[in-house]
Structure 1
């Protein structure tokens, strides 16, 4: 079913054009007539046009205004009378292409984050461009890019724009109403720029759709209006838009410069001598203060500033509304402004003033300001980092190439290596300031719980949740050492923490396709996979994307001794098996010890090295598995002979020395649900160093090793198979060389720059998730039943409830319905 589209045409003493437009809308559109509502607003023309329109087009709803309220006011008047779910605005001196409405509606239905569709507009003959893209200068003046150029097909690709032209524009009706429609104070000019600006600030997209085509007699409505009046409206309305829509920081620099530039535009346009009142230019005779003539075009700029000041009290209220409702920053909108620093007017004195003001007010910095991103972790950020901190560190590093980034840790241990971005420690109560500073917040773990204001549904901050660690699954295994009651409470608490993130986030990151399937189930159960989101993106990757752990793009280089020849009991020619991560309860180092014990009977040179037994984050206690591992190694007589423990944690920037001393990497785990969705973070370093891998089956890393033939995958808890696999990668030189050759190709896919591409792309154009946009009701609503239809439905329901559970079921259903009606009434009444 298609939505009803209300097409609004404003007429002011242009009846011939209006009748041509209305006839085209009625006869030529490829859209069902019963889903089309034609509305014509007459702006107090007083020329007999109303009677002509009523007689010629009886099917058009004619709305008469008591006075000329301008284009903006006329459009709003028509919108208030409209019943459609989509509002379409078209100038009375324009005619639509056959697909004008259908193409625009298609975009609105398929892309629920699009709030408005900007049509392609050509001149009446269809040869030259009227509108295909919009630009905005730093001083608030919108302009049509490529206007007047030959339409050569180079603008036939859809794209996001800052605004569409009011001469052919579609807007969701509910959204138009929520925004208060066009600003009627503008009367005409820039009301469309202002509306698009406000739509984008609130997270909605304005989409240029070239298939939605119209033809326009440009400014037919302005033929009787002097150019000075047009200058006046353009100058005044540009200042009003700038004042309403930019942030406090931008306004402080841009507004005074814009007002000064408006004066210079006026004097340059009117060719006024700016030095005529200099004291050194007094006449030889008496200074009689005689009159000086001034061109009306010059007067327009000065009067525009005067009336802008007059409008300030009401504009101040509008500014408060827009700043409160915005969810996007000025920096977010810079790409849509296209060329914000373009001077726009080729007048020599004006251009000189433009350059001077830009430099004096530092406007290049304001309109070239990098986006501010804060990455917040709960892990220790030091020379010795575990998985969460490593991941947060590289996110900050990659994002800092394009943005201003802070990496903030709430852990007490913050003593980082040198970095191109700020690394700061913060207590939970101090996070609010960092969140307030940022345009985008990237967080992990329990961080969201530490910033309660960020959790609220009305929070406008853009939030990226990194859920690479399914903490609740991890806790199922980790909590085995605690009592049953505490384990159950801890699990419930962690699940709630994750659900809060999944309900709030605008974008989510996970570490593998397996995890993605798991989190999609979570999101679906929480109601985040809405029809609107699905229609916009059936893959749902715009909400949840895979970002595995990554590798440095530079190959590892040795900086010092590590294992071979450096650790007593390990010689330069020994075969070293490296366990690169920590020893946790969900791992199975015990089977590995038995396998090494078997293999040591045939190969006396095998050495197993555990890289880190003590977690660098003091908040993470040692798990029982670490003690069991030491104990079993001792009982088997392996400790310091074939098995070696590094009891501390290797500094992150020194780990390559240990990797380069190894001959293969190993990871073993039990078969359970945590394994299924885990992504072993430090294990990826094996690929960085070119080490053949031996891994237990069951996780996503095992899938990679098997598919790309990077080593050997073995069944869980099978010491014999594990021993055979280790023997193959250590002592079969041809097999090991083949693994290493294939690793070289695979690891290029896992550089941090590559794996973080989804996050990088999102941060270039961050927006709220589709289901978090306000005024995003359904475009096509279920028709309301009336009279007999309602009675038939109720009788059918009554029979269904009686069959299902008798009178008790009927009573229960009736009570529930009353509650829903009461809740709906309360919601409507606010």
Structure 2
């Protein structure tokens, strides 16, 4: 991501730079003087210094600095406590934490603010930190081990330019870190129990779990005298803090399932790390090592402080466990993302971190015994929920749900769950389950990501809530409300109106709640974008994060198998009387619904059969496999017209039962062309005829009515013939061409072979599979989001001037009546705002 130009001073947010001093006044003064030279408007820059364990000398010298707000503390609050104190007193909408032994480059703040303004989903910006000379790396990326220890990747390496690309990270270093102020406060700031070390790791971890991004920005540069502030702290005390805080970070932030395996192993590894570091003999208390003189067993044994550090860290962790338990409950309740989502940000979670032989042996043994490779392997739990029948005979929604589950199961643990009474699946590499609506919450609770179709979201009220932490993908490839306009023609007007309003609200609830949406075509995408805009989902933060909106709604058409169709049994020919090997078969591969126009097709077949008596039209399935879907009036009208024209069982054949999904290729391979015809209406405009892709799979030239996105594909790619709606003459001519014009047929088949590769399920579902590798809530659903800049309230004079201008405008528009109407409207709005401020809905 390129850094956006933050623009002029009026548009820039206030930045509060916070640095903590602890007996390092000379370095702190150097740091603050450098901060004064930042390329940032002085009126938008606030410098705050927190002086831990204040002395008279430090208070006097730091207090003498112009433009610095000095906060003093008689006790040492640690880095975490000092930063939090500074944040509580800060006025900026951006908090910039800067170590007192570091100095910022002039462009340090402007570059970071540019990222925050350009990407509303970024909660914190980690700057690039180099050593004092600017030649070697202090921080460009963060890593985390499975036992909770964060570390700076590439630290000490030469900065030769290979880390000049921005990227998402798990955490930034507290020596140079920018955080949205509102967000920092919502998270409770740094955890002060850490005192120092890993408080920045913990903060970044929590930000990511709640759906925010931490972004490394190489243009935001600072120079750091590494560990100058730790000069007076022994290595044993440092190890103690590192060990204790690593356990605390792990305990607070991983899920229950991960904690059950990782924490016991982490505690055991801590002990081994300590004994190896202190070179303790682990066998000295074995019974076969007893001394000859029993009194020697009572002699004290010296223990290196390096060994003691880990044991005392565990002991102190146990003391703090009740407090950390409460903190853990908060983090687990508020988290949106799974452990698996964050695995890529851990970088190399299975690295042992310390090159001690006995320690390395223990590390490998613990990883194997507790199967930690599987815990940190990146697999997510995904529930695909549908209301359709999952049997050998499946309709479009079930087929789509099945292949969605199949594609996601390659990388994740997947459940395909149907609330339909008909669930009798074939063998699959994922779980296929039936659930009553009351049982759906258990599957939702199990999942990290839920993919929903149709009305299923209505059955899980908790999932509809905006504060639900589950990532929700809404598959809205079927505009059900438009479909219902046609489907409901056979019902009374009151029922039809109620059904339409109910279905529209079902879709609106999905559109208000979803984090990611799937549609079937560009036409549909434009249609749904209008819906999202009308519901207020296309906010400035959403738009700024992705002006294309592809990260919120992507085209996922219906798909077809990767492999070509192979015959596995009988199809049409030889199975039905009056259909022979030499006949030309036109296949209607889907159902017969109210929005289709098989009647014009029957007239065209009747007309064409007078010259081509070998012509046959075969309807693949008249009754929907889902018993909840009633047969529509169009099916009866089709049978009646076929009988009246004398076509039934001569030129026209009806397969009353639905063909099993895994046997459909036998029917397709017997056909010579595929056909679909429909009326001209809004449903057609935004529909995607799912079974049409089976024609491409089997290499069949296509005849279709104009008006939908599939007709555009057939026309643009020359896959067959597109005809006007309700024109039997043009339809008859089109059928004759795709059945008897050999050069035309060959051309269609060649182009179909190329086009169908674009519609394999693997290709079609790619936007979803990519989203599930790094799932995040939609930007407008992120908790604690707030604007970085706010429009200042106008002065009384300016407000009066604006009101006078409005008064003149209203008088020009409609006189005193218009003024009265506008005034009444303003009074209602003000009253409503006051009521909402008192907690009323």
Q: 1:9 matched to which residue of 2?
A: 19
Q: 2:384 matched to which residue of 1?
A: 375
Separation (CA, whole Å) in 2 of partners of 1:155 and 1:682:
49
Q: 1:119 matched to which residue of 2?
A: 127
Shift of 1:821: 3.1
Contact 2:688 2:710 in 1 (8 A): yes
Separation (CA, whole Å) in 2 of partners of 1:821 and 1:205:
35
Q: 1:97 matched to which residue of 2?
A: 105
Match of 2:271 among 263, 266, 271: 263
Match of 2:219 among 211, 223, 236: 211
Separation (CA, whole Å) in 2 of partners of 1:14 and 1:69:
15
Q: 1:697 matched to which residue of 2?
A: 706
Match of 2:31 among 12, 18, 21: 21
Separation (CA, whole Å) in 2 of partners of 1:14 and 1:159:
33
Alpha-carbon displacement from aligned partner over 1:90-142 (angstroms, at most 9, x marks no partner): 11111212221111111111111111111111111121111111111111100
Residues 671 and 39 of structure 1: is their aligned pair in 2 closer, same or farther, counting only changes over 3 Å? same
Q: Find out whether 1:525 has 2:534 as its counterpart.
A: yes
Separation (CA, whole Å) in 2 of partners of 1:643 and 1:90:
79
Mean CA deviation greater in 813-822 or 480-489: 813-822
Match of 2:525 among 491, 516, 525: 516
Shift of 1:804: 6.2
Note the 1:399-410 alignment, pairs <5 A. Answer: 399-410=408-419
Match of 1:579 among 585, 588, 599: 588
Partner SS for 2:579: coil
Separation (CA, whole Å) in 2 of partners of 1:268 and 1:797:
79
Q: 2:834 matched to which residue of 1?
A: 821
Alpha-carbon displacement from aligned partner over 1:336-362 (angstroms, at most 9, x marks no partner): 111111111111111111122222222
Separation (CA, whole Å) in 1 of partners of 2:58 and 2:637:
93
Separation (CA, whole Å) in 2 of partners of 1:334 and 1:47:
48
Note the 1:647-658 alignment, pairs <5 A. Answer: 647-658=656-667
Note the 1:586-597 alignment, pairs <5 A. Answer: 586-597=595-606
Separation (CA, whole Å) in 2 of partners of 1:176 and 1:685:
53
Number of residue pairs aligned between Structure 1 and Structure 2 = 826
Contact 2:25 2:62 in 1 (8 A): yes
Q: 1:51 matched to which residue of 2?
A: 60
Q: 1:84 matched to which residue of 2?
A: 92
Note the 1:383-532 alignment, pairs <5 A. Answer: 383-532=392-541
Q: 1:784 matched to which residue of 2?
A: 793
Residues 483 and 121 of structure 1: is their aligned pair in 2 closer, same or farther, counting only changes over 3 Å? same
Q: 2:4 matched to which residue of 1?
A: none
Q: 2:74 matched to which residue of 1?
A: 66
Q: 1:607 matched to which residue of 2?
A: 616
Match of 2:177 among 169, 172, 193: 169
Mean CA deviation greater in 236-245 or 255-264: 255-264
Contact 1:19 1:53 in 2 (8 A): yes
Shift of 1:517: 0.7
Q: Find out whether 1:544 has 2:553 as its counterpart.
A: yes
Match of 2:283 among 258, 275, 278: 275
Q: 1:135 matched to which residue of 2?
A: 143
Shift of 1:807: 4.1
Partner SS for 1:301: helix
Separation (CA, whole Å) in 2 of partners of 1:643 and 1:30:
79
Q: 1:197 matched to which residue of 2?
A: 205
Residues 193 and 651 of structure 1: is their aligned pair in 2 closer, same or farther, counting only changes over 3 Å? same
Separation (CA, whole Å) in 1 of partners of 2:148 and 2:53:
31
Q: 1:626 matched to which residue of 2?
A: 635
Shift of 1:812: 4.0
Mean CA deviation greater in 2-11 or 395-404: 2-11
Mean CA deviation greater in 562-571 or 508-517: 562-571
Contact 2:54 2:74 in 1 (8 A): no
Shift of 1:794: 5.2
Contact 1:801 1:810 in 2 (8 A): no
Separation (CA, whole Å) in 2 of partners of 1:48 and 1:16:
11
Contact 1:465 1:507 in 2 (8 A): yes
Shift of 1:48: 1.3
Q: 1:223 matched to which residue of 2?
A: 231
Q: 1:335 matched to which residue of 2?
A: 344
TM-score, reference length from structure 1: 0.98
Mean CA deviation greater in 781-790 or 177-186: 781-790
Separation (CA, whole Å) in 1 of partners of 2:227 and 2:796:
50
Which blocks of at least 5 consecutive residues in structure 2 are unaligned?
1-10
Mean CA deviation greater in 805-814 or 790-799: 790-799
Match of 1:110 among 105, 118, 142: 118
Shift of 1:50: 2.9
Residues 210 and 592 of structure 1: is their aligned pair in 2 closer, same or farther, counting only changes over 3 Å? same
Residues 107 and 825 of structure 1: is their aligned pair in 2 closer, same or farther, counting only changes over 3 Å? farther
Alpha-carbon displacement from aligned partner over 1:701-738 (angstroms, at most 9, x marks no partner): 00000111111111100111111111111110000100
Partner SS for 2:659: coil
Alpha-carbon displacement from aligned partner over 1:470-515 (angstroms, at most 9, x marks no partner): 0100000010000000000010110111111111111110100101
Note the 1:664-743 alignment, pairs <5 A. Answer: 664-743=673-752
Separation (CA, whole Å) in 1 of partners of 2:578 and 2:820:
82
Alpha-carbon displacement from aligned partner over 1:408-437 (angstroms, at most 9, x marks no partner): 111111111111111111111111111111
Separation (CA, whole Å) in 1 of partners of 2:317 and 2:385:
43
Contact 1:380 1:411 in 2 (8 A): yes
Partner SS for 1:48: helix
Separation (CA, whole Å) in 2 of partners of 1:790 and 1:275:
82
Residues 280 and 471 of structure 1: is their aligned pair in 2 closer, same or farther, counting only changes over 3 Å? same
Contact 1:545 1:758 in 2 (8 A): yes
Note the 1:745-824 alignment, pairs <5 A. Answer: 745-793=754-802, 805-807=818-820, 809-824=822-837
Alpha-carbon displacement from aligned partner over 1:574-624 (angstroms, at most 9, x marks no partner): 111110100000000011111111111111111111111111111111111
Shift of 1:306: 1.2
Contact 1:13 1:47 in 2 (8 A): no
TM-score, reference length from structure 2: 0.96
Partner SS for 1:211: strand
Shift of 1:45: 4.0
Separation (CA, whole Å) in 1 of partners of 2:822 and 2:685:
43
Mean CA deviation greater in 194-203 or 208-217: 208-217
Contact 1:728 1:735 in 2 (8 A): yes
